[in-house]
């Protein structure tokens, strides 16, 4: 029985969306939420009985399923079971949580770290705990949704600067009252475009205008820097970011989010941020897996070299065929298609030829800039990358995106 038969705004909103989903499905253009049955070596997956090359993974160093990490998770289950006793502050802190936070602090070259149950929750709670009414927060226009939501939730004055445009950021900083608290916040590597924030210029502006600096390293840990520790290593600027946020669900094959910073900031967040105080701790297996993964990254530096080689091969190959890959310098490789329908059609061609890749369409990206958002990892074989590029190239020709 249909309970909601009234034609109110919510009903219309839901209907507009379900109509769009039905249309896409009816035209064999829907590839979201596909059930992956099995992870196979060489960054391949089985989907409905078919083996496909995986080009939508954030496991940049190919650490999902790493024996050392699996083993650590199993040991944690044997030691602590599968859940915690609730929130961290009361009875939910286990030794594996404090160990993980020490590991993160060391990896990120900071005094301390705090973990939360997701990266999304981390941005929401950290921005809204640090900033409040009367304060000013400055956010890159392409920042991740969790940052935007955190800024809105904080109630602070919300100023957005054009993507990676430091002159625009400076103009906005200049216009803010000199005596208010200010926070500048940006992704390190942008999740739709793969380009890198201009950290040196941003750090200089924060100093000049007395603003705090927070960077989201979801796509830079394991990706940037010779040893994979992230954006400060990449620019040889350790110690220049006040608040380094990251996720445990991408390069780190677990779940959760963290902030690495000085002791006082972490103590403050531990006692004032609501996602820490009012939400349960990470399960022991996930905390242990994350803890081990940071160590594996440092112990197996060849993975970063492989990732860099694969990234170079993939971007170079696609550009060589005539695709526009925008300004990417990292493992996130946008393949511009144009209108949304074009990106859906490219996806269908790729998927039908066993290349698992997904489209990003409006409103996630501006209209006319719909794209495949492909990723490479350290686990891909060069020959497999060649095959995927052949498939994408053929599709691009067929649809007239390249000549
Ligand atoms: C994925 C992502 C997040 C959210 O992390 P989860 O752990 O998946 O909640 C936050 N910021 C950026 C830039 C991301 O790409």
pLDDT digits (tens, 9 = 90+) for 159-192: 999 999 999 999 999 999 999 999 999 999 999 9
Q: Is 249 in the pocket of ligand 1 (CB under 6 A)?
A: yes
Residue 321 phi, psi dihedral angles, 5° rounding:
-80, -10
Q: Is the same domain home to 95 and 240?
A: yes
Residue holding tokens 């060649």?
386
Q: What is the pLDDT of residue 339?
A: 95
pLDDT at 384 over 90: yes
Q: What is the pLDDT of residue 174?
A: 97
| DSSP labels, 207-236 | HHTT-EEEEE-TTTTTTSSTTS--HHHHTT
Strands 136-140 and 355-356: unpaired
DSSP-derived 3-state class of residue 320 = helix
Residue 154 resides in a domain: yes
pLDDT digits (tens, 9 = 90+) for 286-342: 999 999 999 999 999 999 999 999 999 999 999 999 999 999 999 999 999 999 999
Q: Is the same domain home to 33 and 114?
A: no
Q: Is the same domain home to 168 and 294?
A: yes
Average pLDDT over residues 85-101: 94
144 is a catalytic site residue:
no
CA separation for the pair 369, 112 (Å, rounded)? 40
Domain count along the chain: 2
CA separation for the pair 63, 402 (Å, rounded)? 34
pLDDT digits (tens, 9 = 90+) for 185-227: 999 999 999 999 999 999 999 999 999 999 999 999 999 999 9
For ligand 1, atom 2, name the residue with the nearest CA. 218
Q: Is the same domain home to 279 and 357?
A: no
Q: What is the pLDDT of residue 2?
A: 60
For ligand 1, atom 1, name the residue with the nearest CA. 218
Q: Which of 97, 108, 144, 219 is catalytic?
A: 219
Q: What is the pLDDT of residue 61?
A: 98
Q: What is the mean pLDDT of the chain?
A: 96
Q: What is the pLDDT of residue 3?
A: 65
Q: Is the same domain home to 292 and 381?
A: no
Residue 19 resides in a domain: no
Residue 293 resides in a domain: yes
- Domain encompassing residue 322: 26-55+301-398
Residue 62 resides in a domain: no
> First vs last Cα of the chain: how many Å apart?
53
Q: Is 257 in the pocket of ligand 1 (CB under 6 A)?
A: yes
Tell which of 244, 278, 299 closes a domain.
Answer: 299
Residue holding tokens 């080689």?
309
CA separation for the pair 218, 10 (Å, rounded)? 33
CATH code, 148: 3.40.640.10
Q: Is the same domain home to 211 and 185?
A: yes
Q: Is the same domain home to 291 and 363?
A: no
pLDDT bracket for residue 85 (50, 70, 90): confident
Q: What is the pLDDT of residue 29?
A: 87
Average pLDDT over residues 63-89: 96
Is residue 173 within 8 Å of residue 167, measured between CB atoms? no
CA separation for the pair 374, 368 (Å, rounded)? 18
Strands 182-187 and 355-356: unpaired
CA separation for the pair 380, 60 (Å, rounded)? 10
Q: Is the same domain home to 305 and 293?
A: no
Is residue 255 within 8 Å of residue 116, measured between CB atoms? no
Q: What angle do CA 161, 162, 167 make, to 5 degrees?
A: 75
Q: What is the pLDDT of residue 4?
A: 63
pTM of the model: 0.96
Average pLDDT over residues 21-48: 93
Average pLDDT over residues 368-374: 97
Q: Which of 108, 244, 250, 380 is catalytic?
A: 250
CA separation for the pair 94, 291 (Å, rounded)? 13
Q: What is the pLDDT of residue 7?
A: 83
Q: Is 193 in the pocket of ligand 1 (CB under 6 A)?
A: no
Is residue 176 within 8 Å of residue 317, measured between CB atoms? no
109 is a catalytic site residue:
no
Compute the Cα dihedral for 371, 376, 380, 383 and give only its sign: positive
Average pLDDT over residues 49-76: 97
What proportion of the chain, given as a percentage, has pLDDT over 90? 94
Compute the Cα dihedral for 69, 72, 78, 81 and give only its sign: negative
Tell which of 250, 281, 299 closes a domain.
Answer: 299
Q: Is the same domain home to 185 and 172?
A: yes
Q: What is the pLDDT of residue 55?
A: 98
pLDDT at 1 over 60: no
For the sheet with 370-375, list strands across it.
Answer: 332-338, 370-375, 358-360
Q: Is the same domain home to 146 and 221?
A: yes
Tell which of 250, 280, 299 closes a domain.
Answer: 299
Residue 61 resides in a domain: no
pLDDT at 6 over 90: no
Q: Is the same domain home to 338 and 326?
A: yes
Residue 362 resides in a domain: yes
Average pLDDT over residues 355-381: 95
pLDDT digits (tens, 9 = 90+) for 223-252: 999 999 999 999 999 999 999 999 999 999
What proportion of the chain, given as a percentage, has pLDDT over 70? 99
Residue 9 resides in a domain: no
Q: Which of 58, 60, 126, 144 to mutate to test the pocket of ligand 1 (most atoms within 8 A of CB)?
A: 144
Q: Which of these, 350, 327, 273, lies nearest to 89 by C-alpha position? A: 273
Residue 231 resides in a domain: yes
pLDDT at 72 over 80: yes
Q: Which of 214, 250, 253 to mutate to test the pocket of ligand 1 (most atoms within 8 A of CB)?
A: 250
CA separation for the pair 43, 63 (Å, rounded)? 10
Compute the Cα dihedral for 301, 304, 307, 311 and give only its sign: negative
Q: What is the pLDDT of residue 5?
A: 67
Strand runs (DSSP E) across 311-401, as ranges?
332-338, 355-356, 358-360, 370-375
CATH code, 382: 3.90.1150.10
153 class by beta-carbon count within 10 Å (0-12 exposed, 13-18 middle, 19+ buried): middle
191 is a catalytic site residue:
yes
Q: Is the same domain home to 287 and 306?
A: no
């Amino acid at each position: 029985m249909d309970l909601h038969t009234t034609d109110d705004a919510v009903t219309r909103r839901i209907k507009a969306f379900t109509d769009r989903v039905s249309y896409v499905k009816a035209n064999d253009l829907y590839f979201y939420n596909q059930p992956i049955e099995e992870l196979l070596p060489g960054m391949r997956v089985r989907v409905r009985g078919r083996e496909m090359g995986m080009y939508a993974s954030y496991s940049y160093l190919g650490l999902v399923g790493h024996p050392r990490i699996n083993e650590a998770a199993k040991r944690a289950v044997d030691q602590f079971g599968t859940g915690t006793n609730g929130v961290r502050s009361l009875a939910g802190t286990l030794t594996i949580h404090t160990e993980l936070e020490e590991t993160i602090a060391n990896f990120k070259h900071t005094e301390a770290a705090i973990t939360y149950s997701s990266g999304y929750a981390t941005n929401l709670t950290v921005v809204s705990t640090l900033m409040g009414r009367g304060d000013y927060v400055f956010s890159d226009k392409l920042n991740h949704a969790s940052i935007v939501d955190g800024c809105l939730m904080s109630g602070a004055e919300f100023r957005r600067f054009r993507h990676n445009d430091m002159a625009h950021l400076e103009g906005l900083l200049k216009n803010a009252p000199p005596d208010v608290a200010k926070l500048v916040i940006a992704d390190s590597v942008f999740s739709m475009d793969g380009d890198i924030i201009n950290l040196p210029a941003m750090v200089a502006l924060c100093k000049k205008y007395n603003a705090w600096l927070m960077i989201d390293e979801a796509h830079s840990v394991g990706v940037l820097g010779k040893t994979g520790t992230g954006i400060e290593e990449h620019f040889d600027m350790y110690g220049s970011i006040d608040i380094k946020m990251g996720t445990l669900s991408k390069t780190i094959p677990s779940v959760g989010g963290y902030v690495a910073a000085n002791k006082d900031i972490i103590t403050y967040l531990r006692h004032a941020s609501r996602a820490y105080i009012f939400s349960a701790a990470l399960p022991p297996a996930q905390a242990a897996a994350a803890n081990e993964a940071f160590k594996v990254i440092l112990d197996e530096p060849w993975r970063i070299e492989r990732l860099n080689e694969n990234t170079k091969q993939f971007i170079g190959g696609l550009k060589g065929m005539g695709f526009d890959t925008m300004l990417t310098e990292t493992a996130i490789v946008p393949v511009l298609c144009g209108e949304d329908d074009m990106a859906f059609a490219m996806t269908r061609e790729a998927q039908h030829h066993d290349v698992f890749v997904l489209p990003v369409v409006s409103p996630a990206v501006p209209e006319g800039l719909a794209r495949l958002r492909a990723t490479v990892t350290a686990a891909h074989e060069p020959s497999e990358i060649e095959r995927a590029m052949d498939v994408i190239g053929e599709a691009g020709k067929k649809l007239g995106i390249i000549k």
